[in-house]
Structures are given as C-alpha cells and as structure tokens.
Structure 1
C-alpha cells in the first residue's frame, strides 16, 4: 500500500484554478529554497496534514524572525507547543495563532486544480501565548475575513478540532467502501447510526473539556456553522447537505488522511487528555485500536510530536499553564 503518511508531492507553480464555493484563476509561485521563502514572508502559514507538522516545523524554525507571526491551519497534537519550544531554544518568541479547523473543505482535482466544497462561516482561534489573542485574531481577520471566534487558549483548540472524531465514525462504519475504492456520498452515508456514533464521540470530548474548565463548540454547532444548515441531529444535517449537493464524497481508498492522519494526530491527543483528566475517552480509544487492527500497524505510535513533549508526565495544572504561556527561552 502507498502510505499516506509524509507523502510529499512536488509543488507545481504557474497557473492554478479553484472552483466550487470559491473561485480562483491565477499564478502561484513556488520557492526553491525554504530560507529564502521565509525571509520574504510577512506571515508564516502552516497548512498541511498533521503528520507533516513536525518535519515542517523542524525545517522552518531556524529561519523564523521575531517579527513573523505564525498561523497553524488546522492545529493538531499540540504542535504549537513543539514549535514554541524550538523557537525558545533560539531565543525567539512569536505569536502562534492556531485554528480549530480549516478555512475550506476541498478536494484536489489535479496538480493545479481544486474544487472547494465549503468556506466555513466560523473558525475557532487561539494563540500561544494566550495574551496575544487580540493580535492573532486581528491578523487572521485581516487575512481571511470576519469569521474567527476567540477561544480560551491552546488547550481549548486542542479540544475543538472535531474532524478526527467525525472522520472516525464515518471511516470506521464505511471502511469497506473506502477499501474497495467506491464512489460514495459522505453526507449521504452519515446515516442515523453513524450520526449517533459521532454524537457519542462528541460527548466524550465535551466531558474532557468540562474537566479542564473549558467551553468548546458541540458537533451539532460545528456542522451548522461550517456547512450552513439548520441545527438538527448530525445525521439530519448531513442528509440535508447531501440533498443540496454539498455533502461531498467519502475517501475512495483505505490510504486516507481519515486514518493515517486523524488517528495518530487527532484521536491519540484526545485520548491522552481523557486519561489526564480522569475521564477516559473509551470510544476514542476503541477507534484507535480498531483502525490500527484494520491497518495492521500501531497507529498511535506514529505520532512524532507527543512523545517529545511528554505532556502526560506534567499533570493537568502544568499542562494548562504551558498551553497559556508556551515555552520560555532557557536561562
């Protein structure tokens, strides 16, 4: 199997096209050297699958200047802490804005084209350090419009990325469709049973957030605000999206980010927070185990960020403090 993890397609410059909910025609430049690209940038925007974040952060950290804010779209697995530590070792501190999800949902159509399914109305944002939230919110708004909702720190964002839990329910209960390469409507196949699983996963996440004293968006709020449908059950909202032609298509291969990104970099951190909070996320843990069995490998072990941070050894109070301040330059 050609594994999804860390695949790096060669960037293609020149004319690019986007269609669907957002249209674009124009030239896109490609830098031949990372240092030169960063040197010319006003803002560093990291937008790639979570299983590429550590490698990208390792590569870019030596080049970031104190006047270059960073945006992570979307944040996963406490990557902002990892980057904060790398920068602190250089004596550099920049505001890092982290999003709870992506600005768009889209599918690549070819090397230079993409179809945009949705432009999200609301995106949760926080900053590291937490005191930079006004600066970070203003920057994100200036770049991408008035759609950002301030959240109370990095930990709230860590518990606000709903894609992994939603993709677990969708992928696990439609796994043979993926493996057989079928073309299937994702919204259509969020049936009442699948919707109930997603809602049960959401209840685990909300309970963990409550143990940390945090207020985060529910999965029903997420679907309503992201996909412009009235609030209802998860299945009913997905069925409406499908009826309107906006339900999208599910993965047409087992080799999918729903498994090889979302399990190690989405479900594993939530399961960790569940154990730390004394409220184990049993369905998340079961999903990790089941999809690992289906993949024939230990997906949890493929997270290359969490082990280096050793968050579980710090305890809840230390983690909450670190998620507000980030790492300081060592004396």
Structure 2
C-alpha cells in the first residue's frame, strides 16, 4: 500500500520508519499516536537532536507510550539531496549510522530486528549519544547563516558543501563543534568530533 492513510500504512507492521525533517516529528508523532499498535517499533531516521524524546513526550501525553518502542538514528542513513520537485537523488548509503532505543535498556532486544531491516545501523549506548552526535546540528545552521546572502543570490541553486564551506566557514564550524563536544562531555556522553565523523 502507498498512500496517505497512516493507519492502513502501518497496520501489521513490525517496524515503522519515520523519514521526515525534524520540524515534522511532532506532527507525525501526534498522528501515529492515534493508530500505533502494540509492540510496534518506531525508527526515526534520522532522530536529529532529541527526536526520540519528542516522540516519547507526545506518546506519553496521548497515553500510548507503553504500546510502542522508539528508536532514533544519529543522522539520515542516505546521503541524498532534493534534485527537483518531487525528486530526490541518493548518492550512497552510509556505512555505519549509530542508533539507540529509548530507553536504552531495550537496545539489546530491539536492535537485532532493526539491523535486519537496515544493517547500516550500529548500536549506540543511548539517545543522548545519537542526539548530541548529530553532526548536522554543527554543519547546517552555522554554514547557512554564514552563507545567507550567497544562498539568496543564487536563488536556491547553491551547492551547500561544495560552495558553502570555505576555510573561514570551516573555522567557525570547528569552533561550534568544540563547544558541542564540551557540552556532551559535561553530560557524560562520548562526543565524536566533526573531523572524526568526516
């Protein structure tokens, strides 16, 4: 089935992969809460920063948290870009993308099911690791802010990484990344630096 009826789409599914930008997580969680089935696994691909926590909060408010298992990936498993209206170009599948279940005590029982679906996922300690190691939180906002004029001038015909990451932009991103790593260290979460991630 391909369509817009969420209840029909997820009926009988063992795992549900949510593949939307972070700003759409709350809306999807609200709709999913209306039809989630007992024991279904919700995989946020990607979770970005705090996606699993947002789903958890909404599912709790709707009284369905105990029905579902929530997991989040650190980043999107596909290296891809929009190439036109309704078109996406997938350049490649990433080799290893950390993923964790909320709560992490369920990692060992749930991960084998998820990794069978997408073997590119690797097990992370917890969702604090996946959330705070979301490298997009470093690369995207800083580079967009520093290239706002350039992006507007090119009217959307802008190659983010190829044209937007000059040596000075890279230095700012390194400073942002250093601060992120310091925060994660204070929280007791192992941080992967941007250079190491690349």
What range describes the TM-score normalised by the shorter chain of this pair? 0.7 to 0.9
Q: 1:84 aligns with which of 47, 56, 61?
A: 56
For residues 136 and 220 of structure 1, do their structure 2 counterparts lie closer, same or farther at Cα, with a shift above 3 Å needed? farther
In the alignment, is residue 104 of structure 1 matched against residue 75 of structure 2?
A: no
Q: Residue 96 of structure 1 contacts residue 127 of structure 1 at CA under 8 Å; is this kept in 2?
A: yes
For residues 185 and 32 of structure 1, do their structure 2 counterparts lie closer, same or farther at Cα, with a shift above 3 Å needed? closer
Q: Distance in 2 between matches of 1:95 and 1:220?
A: 32
Q: 1:195 aligns with which of 167, 170, 173?
A: 170
SS at match of 2:190: coil
Q: 1:63 aligns with which of 23, 30, 35?
A: 35
SS at match of 1:187: helix
- Which of structures 1 and 2 has the bigger CA Rg? 1
Q: Residue 49 of structure 2 contacts residue 131 of structure 2 at CA under 8 Å; is this kept in 1?
A: yes
SS at match of 1:188: helix
Question: Residue 13 of structure 2 aligns with which residue?
Answer: 41
Query: Structure 1-normalised TM-score?
Result: 0.54
Q: Distance in 1 between matches of 2:156 and 2:56?
A: 42
Q: Distance in 2 between matches of 1:187 and 1:85?
A: 34
Question: Residue 69 of structure 2 aligns with which residue?
Answer: 95
Question: Residue 116 of structure 1 aligns with which residue?
Answer: 90
Q: Distance in 2 between matches of 1:91 and 1:193?
A: 45
Q: Deviations over 1:50-106 (max 9, x none)?
A: 111111100111211122111001113533223224434236343211111001121
SS at match of 2:160: coil
Q: Which segments of 5 or more consecutive residues in structure 2 lack a partner in the other structure?
A: none
**More contact order relative to length (CA 8 Å, sep ≥ 6):** 1
In the alignment, is residue 159 of structure 1 matched against residue 127 of structure 2?
A: no
Question: Residue 142 of structure 1 aligns with which residue?
Answer: 116
Q: 1:170 aligns with which of 127, 143, 157?
A: 143
Question: Residue 53 of structure 1 aligns with which residue?
Answer: 25
Cα deviation for residue 111 of structure 1 reads 5.1
Question: Residue 16 of structure 1 aligns with which residue?
Answer: none
Cα deviation for residue 203 of structure 1 reads 0.5
Q: 1:125 aligns with which of 83, 99, 110?
A: 99
Query: Structure 2-normalised TM-score?
Result: 0.87
Q: Distance in 1 between matches of 2:4 and 2:157?
A: 37
Q: Distance in 2 between matches of 1:114 and 1:74?
A: 16
Q: Residue 124 of structure 2 contacts residue 130 of structure 2 at CA under 8 Å; is this kept in 1?
A: yes
Where do residues 229-244 of structure 1 align in structure 2 (5 Å cutoff)?
none
Q: Which segments of 5 or more consecutive residues in structure 1 lack a partner in the other structure?
A: 1-28, 224-331
Q: Residue 49 of structure 2 contacts residue 134 of structure 2 at CA under 8 Å; is this kept in 1?
A: no
For residues 221 and 91 of structure 1, do their structure 2 counterparts lie closer, same or farther at Cα, with a shift above 3 Å needed? closer
For residues 174 and 87 of structure 1, do their structure 2 counterparts lie closer, same or farther at Cα, with a shift above 3 Å needed? closer
In the alignment, is residue 218 of structure 1 matched against residue 193 of structure 2?
A: yes
Question: Residue 157 of structure 2 aligns with which residue?
Answer: 183
Cα deviation for residue 183 of structure 1 reads 3.2
Q: Residue 62 of structure 1 contacts residue 87 of structure 1 at CA under 8 Å; is this kept in 2?
A: no
